[in-house]
A and B are shown apart, each in its own frame.
Chain A
Amino acid sequence: MTLLSILGVLSSAIFSGTSLLYTTLGEIIDQRSGIVNLGLEGVMLVSASAGFAVTAISGNPYLGMLVSVIAGGLMNLILGFLVVSRRANQLASGLALMFFGFGLSAWIGRPYVGAKIRGLPRLPLPGLSNLPVLYSSLFKFDLLIYLVIPVAILVWWLLFRTRWGLGLRAVGENADTAFASGRNPLLIRYQALFAGGLLAGLGAAHLSIAYTMNWTEYMTAGRGFIAVALVIFSKWNPIRAIVGALLFSGAVAFQLLLQSSGIQISPFLLDTIPYILTILVLIIWGGTRKHAAPASLGRVYQGTE
């Protein structure tokens, strides 16, 4: 294993981990307000296809990114209407949203399969420009990658240091208490879902406009669900989510490297490495009661009479 291949793993982990991290951050906001969003997969697909389509039409990746983000927010608001206003079951609504997203994104993306776009420009890391091209090309990142850790810190700050975040977490713990403190739990849950949707949209934008720069049906390949797992993995903490997303996508990149190195293990088994890692971490981190799930996660807020 050469230095180059290790750096290759790292670079690919960063590229594929970014969309995962944005989406995870979005889901952390959703869940901190008490809503499990299982529809993320569908939200991401609609965002990714809409963003890609707009980029292909306009030739402007930033416009595509904006559309992607707004699409994410709107998709989550559909879930909001179901689970907040209509008090529907969150898990069922989430799955319905996902399948809706599958179909809608396939329809949006259909004319653009195989289209070529100019994706988000990649800027070299300062100080690495005098390395050999083979190395420095591994570390030319786009804007969304540079922004992801600041955004994670911003989300942490919003949740744990602002009045809005305090109210949002209170709704996720006990909506009655939040109501008694003079807040509107329904409005806060809508806000949380919209903000979470914007972030999932950013993750989707990175996937289709910056990373792969193409559109294929079901291109998210389970990222929406991995994000839900990463929320638990990170114990609902945005800072831990950085580590979780990197670790997970690192494991994916590592097993791809193993496969290409001609190792005598079935690729199907190698595929499971990231998930085995996830299970191991859940085993090790499970059992401690501190930083457990928001107390009213998944529960419908009935309001008062």
Chain B
Amino acid sequence: MLTTPPSASQTPPMISMREISKSFPGVVANDRIDFDIFRSEIHALLGENGAGKSTLMKILYGFYRADSGRIFLDGKPVSIQSPNDARALQIGMVFQDFTLIPAFSVAENIALFLPDLSTVVNLRDVSRWIEEMSTRYGLRVNPHAMVNELSIGEQQKVEILKLILSDSRLLILDEPTRVLAPHEVDALFEVLYSMRQDGYAIILITHKIKEVLECADRITVLHNGCVAGSLVRSNASEDKLVEMMFGRKLSGLKTGKKVAREETALPILELHDVYTHGEGAETKLEEIDLKVYPGEIVGIAGVSGNGQRELGDVVLGVIKCVKGTKHLFGKDVTNSSIQKLRRSLVSFIPENPLTMAAAPYLTVLENMAVTKTWHYALRGGLAMDWQAIKTDIENTMERLGFSFSLNIPARSLSGGNLQRMIIVRELTHDPRLIIASYLTRGLDVQSTIAARQALIQARDDGAGVLLISEDLEELFLLSDRLIVLYGGRIVGSFKPDETNFYEVGHLMTGSEVQDAANA
């Protein structure tokens, strides 16, 4: 709606990829793919997880080398053997797993990627550029902050700033909106639109059809490592894209009947007047009163950095309460260990599976066992019942319709498969309380439905669910009750059908509800 899509016939493509093939042991990730990118266009690369989107783009960025195929820049063949080559051709990429260094400051992380960095680094200049750019694009971030003190949403902003400042003309964004709040997504698209105006080419790797239809000029769909089709937005529709992505129509999500819970039932979880310390970069939780009843999904809405992560952590016991009490099935567990809570069938799906829930160098199977070692211990812990673990895991995988290899190191899984691994693990033992943060991050449409279905199934079986998300659509769809966090406090509690996106969105961003009514 902002500009007309550029017509492919008028200008030659900036970059052409021809007949690109790439295999990994056991998989053909890319099979003779042709792909064109024009200047001044936002090109969406759409496909479900494992369709080969990231691989293709990592080849363009020189992170992988193609087995065969050629790449042309302005019609001339180029050889991209390393990211260094790619950057020399002004190609920049934001990876799905952030490449920020946690022990470095924001300014140091960005300086690392500046092409014309002076031999003696003047971080004051770098900080000034960051501040200029971050104000210009509304990507506010403190250049002096250490990255390990930033929330995942803020880290994303740094990644995007890094690209803007590193002078790339072609920007590859691997699922950039994954971690952004709704209004931040809009802001990002505004950034992309103005960059397109300046002649930048932008490739958006995504599996969110809605976003594609909103902001892309052209769309290329990958399916099983092959191009399923390439079309301009005006020719695209949601149904058409879904069909190209999956090769068939999808079954919808059965949300089931939202049964009114019994007010008299004993809550599974009860937080009463909980305060936390707020050490380092943590958000300090204050005055948290929260009950989760059997058979309900309580959605926690909030912009990243407003205490959702801390809320999940405090329930599991990763963070201690400094004041207030925590009860599980009526028993005081305020100071109980994480193991005790896990043994009481509490499950935890954290916001960042790679760093918070998985041991990257252990195999998937071993990762599946680590949270339940007591359950599988044989002979007093001298041996493990690996067969039982395998059977349990495979049952859950079948139930959810997920499949991935169990005997490879967890680090070699893609982001989506890693998330699937954690979901399978945490839903395997009929948990009574499930804390799920960003449940569907990195999952494609099909897996998203499966994961949500699993959560609903658990709810219908009488489990309590604490669903932490920034995806309002997801929260409204799944929650029986919705709680809004802002600045570490609960600022609103609703039944989803008694409120709307605007009211919740404004509470999430700290503006008054009255403003929302006027808006």
CB–CB A177/B100 < 8 A: yes
Q: Do B103 and A173 have beta carbons less than 8 Å apart?
A: yes
User: Is A284 at the interface (CB under 8 A from chain B)?
Assistant: no
| Contact present for A170 and B119 (CB under 8 Å) | no
Quick check: A181 and B82 within 8 Å, CB to CB? no
Q: Are A182 and B87 in contact (CB under 8 A)?
A: yes
Task: Tell me the minimal C-beta distance from A229 to chain B in angstroms.
Answer: 21
Chain A nearest CB from B103 CB (Å) reads 6
Whether B101 and A180, one on each chain, are in contact in the complex, defined by CB atoms closer than 8 angstroms, is: no
Q: How far is the CA of A176 from the CA of B98 in the complex (A)?
A: 11
What secondary structure prevails in chain B residues at the interface with A? loop
Give Cα distance in the complex from A158 to B113, angstroms: 18
Q: Is B64 an interface residue (CB 8 A)?
A: yes
Which of B4-12, B104-112, B375-383 participates in binding chain A? B104-112
Contact B120 A173 (CB under 8 A): no
- What's the least CB distance linking B497 to chain A, in Å? 45
A138-192, CB < 8 A from B? 161-167, 169-170, 173-174, 176-184
- A163/B83 contact (C-beta < 8 A), A176-B99, A177-B99, A295-B103 known: no
B119 A162 Cβ-Cβ under 8 A: yes
Number of interface residues of B (CB under 8 A): 29
If A179-B83, A182-B83 touch, whether A292 touches B120 (CB-CB below 8 Å) is: no
A261 beta carbon closer than 8 Å to chain B: no
Of residues 287 to 301 in A, which have CB atoms within 8 Å of B's CB atoms? Answer: 290, 292, 294-295
Shortest beta-carbon distance from B482 to chain A in Å: 35
Give the distance in Å from the alpha carbon of A176 to the alpha carbon of B99 in the complex: 8
**B97-137 residues at the A interface, CB under 8 angstroms:** 99-104, 108, 111-113, 115, 117-121
Query: Does A180 contact B120, Cβ atoms closer than 8 Å?
Result: no
Docked complex Cα distance between A167 and B100 (Å): 13
Return the chain A residue nearest B87 by Cβ.
Answer: A182
Q: CB within 8 A of A174: which of B24, B93, B99, B146?
A: B99
A166 engages B82 (CB within 8 Å): no
Which residue in B61, B82, B112 is a CB contact (below 8 Å) of A167?
B112
The residue in chain A whose Cβ has the minimal distance to the Cβ of B361 is A299
User: Can you pick out 14 interface pairs between chain A and chain B where the beta carbons lie within 8 Å of each other?
Assistant: A162-B121, A163-B117, A170-B112, A174-B101, A176-B99, A178-B112, A179-B82, A180-B95, A181-B83, A181-B112, A182-B88, A182-B113, A183-B84, A292-B103
Interface residues in chain B, defined as those with a beta carbon under 8 Å from any beta carbon in chain A: 24, 61, 63-65, 82-84, 87-88, 93, 95, 99-104, 108, 111-113, 115, 117-121, 146
Show the binding face of A for B, using Cβ within 8 Å: 161-167, 169-170, 173-174, 176-184, 290, 292, 294-295, 304-305
Which 9 A-B pairs give the minimum distances between C-beta atoms?
A182-B84, A177-B99, A173-B101, A181-B112, A180-B83, A181-B113, A182-B87, A163-B117, A180-B99
